[in-house]
């Protein structure tokens, strides 16, 4: 290793001669050879000792006072390190950047001359010296050497720094920041090929005419928003950019899972099993552009009785691909099961799956689903339909399937496997892949209760929403109680509080709501407090493979509306076959008189306590058929 300039050469003493023999610790003759010309020799002795610090180069080679100089070398170790300029002038600032680099600032009063590194320990040592020119090239002509640039700060360097603008930004929200869907850009062995086909992954000769367009998203998608927002056009310009002009939007067949889609050109035939299979391929040697519209939205969900999701992508996602110059179709070399990970959090959850065949020549190219590609066999591990069973795709889709979660297994995870066996010579041997369906049913609790308004009418609706589907046989007048109270404290230990029995209790499984109404045309009494209790005996429809050990009865202290912090409730842990309502009970008190206090107390089976207090004011209304807002 050597560092050259017109006037000096810095060479590191090698460990061996050019004949591969170990260098001897003795005096040597050094010469410089340039072609056939050889310089005079000088004496140099190699010592049997530990090398000290050595400078190989500096950057920049010249600059005014205040210039930061980077010094590169070896053995820049030790304590009390420093850098000396000519006439023993110490650098104003020295910073070590590891064992091979030091940064120093040219001090005031420094002069042109040799620069060296020094250290006090482990032994006082100074390195070799290299020349540094003190001056400003902006005011001193010819200060820089041949090949160097005069930089704006007055230093001489082979490359001047470029000032770049930058900024720091962050965001905050007074509510939950919505998560927008985005397209995953990945092609890996972990089971993602998105987008496909794409010129970023695949060369044109690998994109066969029977390729399928597809993409995977980071979150569940409202699949109905894909129909109008997957646009495929042929690029028709003959210039350098073929997509400078585009043809009309092509028609195609779309198949989806919760997080992905596949699209094939349309012109279809009907197979022998009555399944519609796209049979048209892309044109050979042609460029196509795919646009996923900004209006693609995340999946709608009900959380706490409130609809969430339906957040749009916000901007288009566009990619291109070019097909191979021949009509030869791809053969299958692998299959991807999509989604790779999914969650079933309640009994009866139906998860759509897709078996996506991938090209044998390029695992980033998905190919069209067709009967000729072979037979698709679906299976689960463990193979137990009482836990998870196949119920068929929602629409005609040869490569699609749906899995219904029926029961929670001991280990929660179920493997969903798709295997493609030989058809028309492809694939040459069976290929398979698995996705994981985690079956972990949500513990039941009350997510919403009402009335939750500033005025409670005498004909108000009373109800609650559960977070999961409940066993309707347990929601009845035995487990749902309504009490008429003598005052706002409304404790059940007060014998003067009476149970209201002329009521009906209805449960709507579709909305997960329990509704409580007085029988007939009866209304709630004016100027009266009421209390509703949902018993811990109410159970969800959560089948598990565990033992039948229901949660023991909860221990409850007296409810004191004036002191909500003193309310305590705990539920011991237990194995469930059907999980009881975690809220034991959900209490809410309402009144149609002056003031209303509403209490929900919900406890999970892990002894966590949740409380919510809401104060209401009431003004009596003469219009008895006015309904309170739920």
Q: Is the pLDDT of residue 90 over 60?
A: yes
Range of the domain at 277: 186-439
* Structure confidence by residue, pLDDT tens digits, 383-402: 999 999 999 988 778 889 99
What is the rounded distance in angstroms from the CA atom of residue 617 to the CA atom of residue 41? 105
pLDDT the model gives residue 8: 75
Beta-bridge partners for 153: none
Query: Is 626 contained in some domain?
Result: no
Q: Is the pLDDT of residue 565 over 90?
A: no
What is the rounded distance in angstroms from the CA atom of residue 560 to the CA atom of residue 494? 13
Q: Is the pLDDT of residue 274 over 60?
A: no
Shared domain for 131 and 96, answered yes or no, is: yes
- Residue appearing with tokens 């939205």: 297
Shared domain for 374 and 280, answered yes or no, is: yes
Helix, strand, or coil (residue 86) = helix
Question: Where does the pLDDT of residue 305 fall: very low under 50, low under 70, confident under 90, or very high at 90 and above?
Answer: low
Shared domain for 420 and 382, answered yes or no, is: yes
HSE, side-chain direction, 13 A CA sphere, residue 504: 10
Nearest to 451 by CA among 315, 600, 228: 600
Residue 356 near residue 259 (C-beta atoms within 8 A): no
Prior bond of 10 cis (ω within 30°): no
Q: Identify the weakest region by mean pLDDT among 144-148, 150-154, 309-313, 368-372.
A: 368-372
Considering only residues 77 and 326, tell me which one the structure prediction assigns the higher pLDDT: 326
Nearest to 77 by CA among 114, 48, 120, 46: 120
Query: Is 250 contained in some domain?
Result: yes
Question: Where does the pLDDT of residue 570 fall: very low under 50, low under 70, confident under 90, or very high at 90 and above?
Answer: very low
Phi, psi of 56 (to 5 degrees): -100, -35
Neighbours of 542 (CB within 10 A): 23
Query: Is 113 contained in some domain?
Result: yes
Query: Is 377 contained in some domain?
Result: yes
- Residue appearing with tokens 């009845």: 476
Q: Identify the weakest region by mean pLDDT among 165-174, 203-212, 276-285, 330-339.
A: 276-285
What is the rounded distance in angstroms from the CA atom of residue 477 to the CA atom of residue 493? 20
* Structure confidence by residue, pLDDT tens digits, 469-511: 888 999 999 999 998 888 877 777 777 788 999 999 999 988 8
Query: Is 164 contained in some domain?
Result: no
Neighbours of 401 (CB within 10 A): 22
The domain that contains 421 carries what CATH number? 2.60.40.3710
Shared domain for 422 and 457, answered yes or no, is: no
Neighbours of 282 (CB within 10 A): 24
Shared domain for 260 and 309, answered yes or no, is: yes
Shared domain for 334 and 402, answered yes or no, is: yes
What is the rounded distance in angstroms from the CA atom of residue 156 to the CA atom of residue 136? 8
The domain that contains 569 carries what CATH number? 2.60.40.1220
Single out the residue in 423, 439, 455 at which a domain terminates: 439
**For 12-28, what is the mean pLDDT?**
88
Shared domain for 454 and 363, answered yes or no, is: no
- Which helix (H) or strand (E) is 615 found in, with range? strand 609-618
Shared domain for 215 and 109, answered yes or no, is: no
Single out the residue in 439, 466, 499 at which a domain terminates: 439
Shared domain for 10 and 103, answered yes or no, is: yes
Shared domain for 102 and 207, answered yes or no, is: no
pLDDT the model gives residue 306: 61
Query: Is 181 contained in some domain?
Result: no
pTM for the full model? Answer: 0.54
For residue 594, CA distances in Å to 457, 532, 565, 590, 618 come to: 12, 19, 24, 11, 5
The domain that contains 98 carries what CATH number? 2.60.40.10
**For 134-145, what is the mean pLDDT?**
92
Shared domain for 511 and 560, answered yes or no, is: yes
How many domains are contained in the chain? 3
* Structure confidence by residue, pLDDT tens digits, 423-432: 664 667 889 9
What is the rounded distance in angstroms from the CA atom of residue 116 to the CA atom of residue 109? 17
pLDDT the model gives residue 591: 33
Query: Is 456 contained in some domain?
Result: yes
Question: Where does the pLDDT of residue 242 fall: very low under 50, low under 70, confident under 90, or very high at 90 and above?
Answer: very high
Residue 315 near residue 294 (C-beta atoms within 8 A): yes
Shared domain for 390 and 418, answered yes or no, is: yes
Nearest to 280 by CA among 213, 332, 194, 230: 213
Query: Is 173 contained in some domain?
Result: no
DSSP label at 526?
T
Q: Identify the weakest region by mean pLDDT among 182-196, 254-268, 285-299, 616-630.
A: 616-630
Single out the residue in 394, 417, 439 at which a domain terminates: 439
What is the rounded distance in angstroms from the CA atom of residue 416 to the CA atom of residue 222? 23
**Mean pLDDT of all residues belonging to the chain:** 79
């Amino acid at each position: 290793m050597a560092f050259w300039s017109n006037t000096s050469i810095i060479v590191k003493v090698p460990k061996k001669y050019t004949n591969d023999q170990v260098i001897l610790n003795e005096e040597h003759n050094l010469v410089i050879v340039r072609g056939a010309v050889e310089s005079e020799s000088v004496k140099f002795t190699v010592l049997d000792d530990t090398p000290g610090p050595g400078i190989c180069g500096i950057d920049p080679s010249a600059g005014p006072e205040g210039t930061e100089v980077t010094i590169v070398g070896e053995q820049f170790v030790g304590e009390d390190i420093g850098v000396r300029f000519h006439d023993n002038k110490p650098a104003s600032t020295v910073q070590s950047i590891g064992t091979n680099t030091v940064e120093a600032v040219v001090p005031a009063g420094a002069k042109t001359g040799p620069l060296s590194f020094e250290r006090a320990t482990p032994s006082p040592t100074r390195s070799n010296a290299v020349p540094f020119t003190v001056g400003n090239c902006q005011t001193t002509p010819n200060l820089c050497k041949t090949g160097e640039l005069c930089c704006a700060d007055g230093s001489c360097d082979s490359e001047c720094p470029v000032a770049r603008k930058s900024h720091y930004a962050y965001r905050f929200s007074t509510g939950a920041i919505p998560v927008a869907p985005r397209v995953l850009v990945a092609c890996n062995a972990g089971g993602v090929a998105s987008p496909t086909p794409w010129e970023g992954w695949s060369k044109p000769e690998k994109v066969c005419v029977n390729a399928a367009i597809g993409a995977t998203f980071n979150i569940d998608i409202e699949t109905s928003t894909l129909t109008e927002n997957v646009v495929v056009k042929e690029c028709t310009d003959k210039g350098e950019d073929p997509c400078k002009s585009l043809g009309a939007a092509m028609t195609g067949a779309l198949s989806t899972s919760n997080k992905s889609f596949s699209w094939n050109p349309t012109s279809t035939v009907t197979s022998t099993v009555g399944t519609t299979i796209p049979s048209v391929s892309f044109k050979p040697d042609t460029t196509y552009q795919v646009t996923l519209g900004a209006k693609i939205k995340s999946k709608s969900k009900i959380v706490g009785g409130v609809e969430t999701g339906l957040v749009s992508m916000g901007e288009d996602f566009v990619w291109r691909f070019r097909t191979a110059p021949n009509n030869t179709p791809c053969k299958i070399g692998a299959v991807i099961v999509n989604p790779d990970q999914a969650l079933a959090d309640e009994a009866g959850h139906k998860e759509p799956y897709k078996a996506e065949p991938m090209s044998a020549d390029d695992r980033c190219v998905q190919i069209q689903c067709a009967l000729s590609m072979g037979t698709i066999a679906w299976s689960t591990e463990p193979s137990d339909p009482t836990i998870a069973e196949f119920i068929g795709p929602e629409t005609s889709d040869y490569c699609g399937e749906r899995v219904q979660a029926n029961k929670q297994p001991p280990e929660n995870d179920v493997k969903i496997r798709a295997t493609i066996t030989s058809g028309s010579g492809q694939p040459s041997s069976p290929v398979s892949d698995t996705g994981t369906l985690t079956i972990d049913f949500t513990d039941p609790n009350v997510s919403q209760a009402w009335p939750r308004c500033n005025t409670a009418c005498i004909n108000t609706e009373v109800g609650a929403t559960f977070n999961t589907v409940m066993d309707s046989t347990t929601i009845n007048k035995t487990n749902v109680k309504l009490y008429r109270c003598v005052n706002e404290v409304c404790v059940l230990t007060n014998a003067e509080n009476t149970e209201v029995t002329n009521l009906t209790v209805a449960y709507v499984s579709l909305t997960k709501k329990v509704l409580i109404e007085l029988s007939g045309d009866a209304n709630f009494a004016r100027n009266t407090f009421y209390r509703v209790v949902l018993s811990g005996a109410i159970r969800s429809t959560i089948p598990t493979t565990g033992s039948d050990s229901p949660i023991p009865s909860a221990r409850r202290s007296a409810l004191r509306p004036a002191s909500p912090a003193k309310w305590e409730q705990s539920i011991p842990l237990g194995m469930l076959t059907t999980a009881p309502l975690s809220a034991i009970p959900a209490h809410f008190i309402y009144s149609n008189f002056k003031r209303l206090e509403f209490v929900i107390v919900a406890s999970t089976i892990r002894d966590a306590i949740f409380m919510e207090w809401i104060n209401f004011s009431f003004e009596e209304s003469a219009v008895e058929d006015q309904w309170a807002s739920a």
